[in-house]
Amino acid sequence: MDDYSKIFDLSGRRALVIGGASGIGRASCSGLASFGADVICGDLDIAKAKEAALAIAVEGRTAEALHIDLCDRDSVAGAARTAGVPDVLVISPSINVRKPLLDVTEEEFDRVVGLNLKSIFRALKVFVPGMVARGKGSIIVFSSIRAQVVEPGQGVYAATKAGTLQMIRALAAELGQSGVRANAIAPGIVETPLTQQIKQNDAWYRAYSDKSVMRRWASPSELVGAVVYLASDASSYVTGSYLLVDGGWTAADGRFTPPLPASSHAAAS
């Protein structure tokens, strides 16, 4: 019988997390390091990236910080020269402009598409060829439930998340026999800087909580399991996937719970 005790072990693997200074990216850095990976916390904010790396190192694990501006071709190329070829590549940064689609300016459109979609393409172009040449690697990119469901004010953001998913699926198909896997994680509502606008509006915040069948928001730490899974040998036959971590948001229809008869399995009072 096979020994599965090390199926999530990442010892000896080098993981680059772009967007590793905060939110889901920072939690991913910590989680990957916990399973033995040598982590590079890559971010535009190098000061916060150093804080994230130091927090991991204090716990006796290996981490370093790396400055990378995904919107700058030269910065990405320079980061690749410094970091080398990672075994695991995680890309998490996103921005959003919440406006009716017809009110979005071309400049705003270009800014959201530039970071959320084009910069991922740029990073893949730079980091993935080395993984292919080595014949092994895991690419993990953050999409969103907005690749599947949308609401007013999310048109451009949703388009980039759907585009990210399809780009990753195409990459998975193209690299299927290379030993390199590519997958997308789709978070639901997560307590991150990107959702600060919602958190400041109590009614909006509660409505989002109620839409999830778990009736609450996620913390960044609750995305770590999906990242570790896709980084590890536990997912060795998983590529081109859209892994939902959304608290059941996309499983349930609507925000109203119909009045149903009491369950016959309910405990007697």
For the chain, what's the residue count?
269
Instruction: For residue 139, report the phi and psi dihedrals to the nearest 5 degrees.
Output: -110, 125
How many C-beta atoms surround the C-beta of residue 173 within 10 A?
11
Q: What is the mean pLDDT of each run of 10 residues along the chain (269 residues)?
A: 88 97 96 97 98 93 96 97 97 93 97 98 98 98 96 95 98 97 96 79 87 91 98 98 95 73 57
The first and second tokens of residue 246, run together, are 């959304």
Domains in the chain, start-ordered, CATH in brackets? 14-191+219-244 (3.40.50.720)
Instruction: For residue 247, report the phi and psi dihedrals to the nearest 5 degrees.
Output: 60, 25
Compute the distance between CA of residue 157 and CA of residue 242 in angstroms, rounded to an integer: 17
Catalytic residue check, 4: no
3-state SS assignment for residue 163: helix
Sheet holding 14-18, edge to edge: 63-67, 38-43, 14-18, 88-91, 137-142, 180-187, 242-245
User: 46-58 and 23-34 are packed helices; what angle lies between their axes, rounded to 10 degrees?
Assistant: 30
Q: Are strands 180-187 and 137-142 parallel, antiparallel or unpaired?
A: parallel
Compute the distance between CA of residue 246 and CA of residue 193 in angstroms, rounded to an integer: 17
How confident is the model at residue 257, as a pLDDT?
65
How confident is the model at residue 3, as a pLDDT?
86
How confident is the model at residue 211, as a pLDDT?
87
Q: Encode burial over 62-94: b for 16+ CB neighbours within 10 A, e otherwise.
A: ebbbbbbebeeeeebebbbeebebbbbbbbbbb
For 240, half-sphere exposure in the C-beta direction (CA atoms, 13 angstrom radius) is 11
3-state SS assignment for residue 65: strand
Q: Which of 4, 157, 237, 242 is catalytic?
A: 157
How confident is the model at residue 269, as a pLDDT?
41
Kindly provide the residue ranges of all beta strands, DSSP E only, lying in the chain, ordered along the sequence. 14-18, 38-43, 63-67, 88-91, 137-142, 180-187, 242-245
Compute the distance between CA of residue 167 and CA of residue 139 in angstroms, rounded to an integer: 12
Residue corresponding to tokens 């994230």: 52
Instruction: Tell me the DSSP string of 232-246.
Output: SGGGTT--S-EEEES
Q: Read off the pTM.
A: 0.92
How confident is the model at residue 268, as a pLDDT?
45
How confident is the model at residue 252, as a pLDDT?
87
Compute the distance between CA of residue 184 and CA of residue 180 in angstroms, rounded to an integer: 14
Q: Are strands 14-18 and 38-43 parallel, antiparallel or unpaired?
A: parallel
Signed CA dihedral, 199, 210, 216, 42: sign only: negative
- Which one-letter amino acid corresponds to residue 178? S
